[in-house]
A = this chain, B = another copy of it.
Amino acid sequence: MKDIRILYGEKLKDFRKKQGLSQEELGFKSSLHRTYISEVERGRRNISIVNIARIAKALGLPIRDFFE
């Protein structure tokens, strides 16, 4: 079983790309820095529940979709 940070990061990258958004654009929509988005996508950050919610809202997806 992969680390949850890696699994979440892969899902996030997948959803972001499906919506045709750059890391900059998602950063802007979620009020998070582009480099933070990049690190989360690579599983380098232990993202908090508040930021998980912020990103889900920016992508218009329920949080549970990131944990299928």
Contacts and interface: CB of A to CB of B under 8 A. Distances in A.
Interface of A is mostly: helix
Of the four ranges (under 10, 10 to 19, 20 to 34, 35 or more), the interface on chain A belongs to 10 to 19
A19 B4 CA distance: 24
A27 B48 CA distance: 19
A5 interface: yes
Interface in A43-68: 46-50, 52-53, 62-64, 67-68
11 contacts: A4-B50, A4-B52, A5-B50, A8-B49, A48-B49, A49-B52, A62-B67, A64-B64, A64-B67, A64-B68, A67-B67
Interface of A: 4-5, 8, 46-50, 52-53, 62-64, 67-68
